[in-house]
Amino acid sequence: MSSKPFNATRVTHPPAPATFSCRDLVSIRDLVSEDIETIFHLAGLMKARPVKFQKSLAGKQIVMFFEKPSLRTRLTFEAGMASMGGWTSFVDQTQGRLDAREKLSDIAHNVERWVDGIVLRTFAHSTVENMAEHACIPVINALSDLEHPCQALADYFTLQERFGDLKNICLAYVGDGNNVAHSLLLTCACLGSRMRIATPRGYEPDPQIVADAQDMARTTGAVIEILSDPQAAVDGVDAVYTDAWTSMGQEHETEERDRIFPPYQMNDDLVSGAAPHAVFMHCLPAHRGQEITDSVIDSVRSVVFDQAESRLHIQKAILLLLLGGEFGRFPARSVHV
């Protein structure tokens, strides 16, 4: 396949589009390609000149409700807000679902009176959707069982920095058709890029996500292939990506998944089929020796920590675009009375 060779020179970010259409980031499906270009452009500026944004969110406050443990997501949102002069309150919901004690709409109507935005890391995707429906302030999906939009945006931002025009690259994802795979598929489709995903039979991505991605692809020119053969997926690609075989909440399936997924392990044999300039990706945390080997994740071609850094810049851009400051686009939605 035709692939753009590796270019060690940092890519110059294109001029920012004039619009940003979202009030929330619940799903990649909330975005159009111009929105992603806006996020990438702003993230590039913030990465290059962070001091210019030190007061961009002064006086702004967010609350983060997390039903799942976190390292990268929590720290990058907290550091991002602090670096722009904002403030963060963290609510640990790992001992009980967000709506177990109180009706979700009541939580939304309380929180919207106190802070400027809500960040959710939840099990059920409906929790994020319902919060966005009821809250008059922006809601950001920091992970749900269906999607992980901030991760996918950070991943494609990392690829853009490495390769330039994302229409010229092909990403292979091997492993479980999970929330990360879903958001990668939708981002690829939105950007008009190319992606192959290989999963064991029975572990394919959600059919509605695939259908939505294919619908986008018909407009953007993206190419999406759903396969079961990991070797075929990796052949000649510019990047190879994997994630944990067992996601949080699926621990009861660990033994069965450990039996089914070894042919999809991202090891030296598998990645040898990728292009010579290909990079190796993982959203972390990695289960070394399971879905990925030390020799791959520690390779000079691994960009896993670049991906982790990109989470900071992408989320800062999302926060600034949604919460306001000089880049703010929208007035607040009507306050409930």
Could you give the residue numbers annotated as active site?
121, 148, 151, 243, 283, 311
304 is written with which tokens? 């896993």
Give the angle 77-82-84 at the CA atoms, nearest 5°: 100
Rounded to whole angstroms, the Cα distance separating 251 from 273 reads 31
Give the angle 182-187-191 at the CA atoms, nearest 5°: 155
Given a contact cutoff of 8 angstroms between Cβ atoms, the answer to whether 169 and 142 are in contact is: no
Rounded to whole angstroms, the Cα distance separating 309 from 3 reads 25
Instruction: Please return the burial class of 239, using the count of CB atoms within 10 Å of its CB with bins 0-12, 13-18 and 19+.
Output: buried
206-232 burial, b for 16+ CB within 10 Å, e for fewer? Answer: beebbebbeebbeebebebebbbebee
Give the angle 159-162-165 at the CA atoms, nearest 5°: 70
Rounded to whole angstroms, the Cα distance separating 300 from 155 reads 17
Rounded to whole angstroms, the Cα distance separating 45 from 38 reads 11
311 to 72, 96, 150: CA distances (angstroms): 8, 26, 7
